[in-house]
Amino acid sequence: MEERLQKFLANQGICSRRKAEEKILQGKVKVNGQVITELGTKIDPEKDEICYEDKLVSNQIEKVYILLNKPIGYVTTVKDQFNRPTVMELLKEHGKRIKTSVVPVGRLDMYTSGALILSNDGEFVYKITHPKHEITKTYQVTVKGTIAESEVEQLKQGVDIGEYVTKPAQVRIMKIDSEKDISRLEITIHEGKNRQVRRMCEAVGRKVLALHRSKIGNLNVKDLKLGQWRYLKEEEVGQILRYMLQ
């Protein structure tokens, strides 16, 4: 069955679909020895020979889906220009790195811990990260001071985080510790703006002291220690795809 060249490359875990499109336009992809520069090009994976940056791309790849409990101090990228530790350094199996190349699905900033999915399934990555496929993310948030119910209501209704008003969120107070002068919240959103939860709390005058993503859709990391990961089961992958808001 024919499919677009950039989709094939993404599905093989070579790179994201967007990156594949860039490489095609740059003349870095060949089909049957011919350089391709048209994004509309379709190929038959069973018959055509595809080369990406002069390396043959096999159409036989085992799809891998990983759930990681990211610690603070790691950046969510494959490589970092500033040589900071990346989440890829945590992916070891029996003392060795896993055999296939995976990429992070979405992002967590360096100072946020918690649930992160990684995969070599380009179509899965595309579906999960595309804005039209909104999936819920749940965060455990520690803020400075005693948060007021009025502030919680603001977060629920949506707040201005700078040229953008967030959509309604689920927010509940988990604990207020007067002695430590902190409040703990659970916030569930289905958007993915940069540093969104931190900016939401700042919008109501609360400084975030700690931030942990506990769930993506219905997947949680409560049974994983920080820095640990596990493979997702086939049914879990199906569940998270069905969990996306339509």
Cα R_g (the chain), whole angstroms: 21
Find the catalytic residue in 109, 160, 177, 181: 109
The one-letter code for the residue type at 214 is S
User: Within 10 A of 96 (CB to CB), how many other CB atoms are there?
Assistant: 7
Is 109 a catalytic site residue?
yes
Dihedral in degrees, nearest 10, Cα atoms 76, 79, 84, 87: 40
DSSP-derived secondary structure letter, 229: E
Strands 34-36 and 29-31, sheet pairing: antiparallel
List active site positions.
109
